Amino acid sequence: MELSDLQTLDDHEEGIKLFLVDKRGREVDAYVIVKGPDSAAYRKAKRKQRQKVLQVVEQGHDIDDFDFFPIDAEFVGTLISDWGEITQDGEPYPFTRENCKELLSKAPAIVDRVLEHCGNRENFIKG
């Protein structure tokens, strides 16, 4: 087995272009660049997400009724490093951390799509 066939970090750090879906669930030309589960950004974000979930439990919230979406959206936002073909009023909508947070807070389908793709390491392997 070639050593390079075992190493995943570079591919996951580079990330993938993930095409988004519109309100009706149709894939569109808009996309986000997402870092993979072996990237440093993912590992750091996962630790932070776990800490927030533990806080929810420690605060006595009923986890069956707790809305975890804001925690998931924050997690996903740290994995997105850029985007393209997203517009507002016909003009390019620039990628910034604040714009990303705003978009994700109102787009559960995007959050779910990123989480789904991050669940499979193979999605991030090149070649």
Q: Are strands 91-92 and 87-88 parallel, antiparallel or unpaired?
A: antiparallel
* Domain tally, the chain: 1
Closest CA to 127 of 18, 11, 1: 11
Domain extent, residue 49, equals: 3-124
Q: What is the DSSP string of 41-87?
A: HHHHHHHHHHHHHHHHHHTT--TTT---HHHHHHHHHHHEEEEES-E
In tens, the pLDDT along 73-90 reads 999 999 999 999 999 999
- Average pLDDT over the chain reads 97
Q: What is the pLDDT of residues 19-47, one digit of tens each?
A: 999 999 999 999 999 999 999 999 999 99
- Percent of the chain, pLDDT > 90? 98
pTM of the full predicted structure? 0.93
Q: How confident is the model at residue 54 (pLDDT cuts 50, 70, 90)?
A: very high
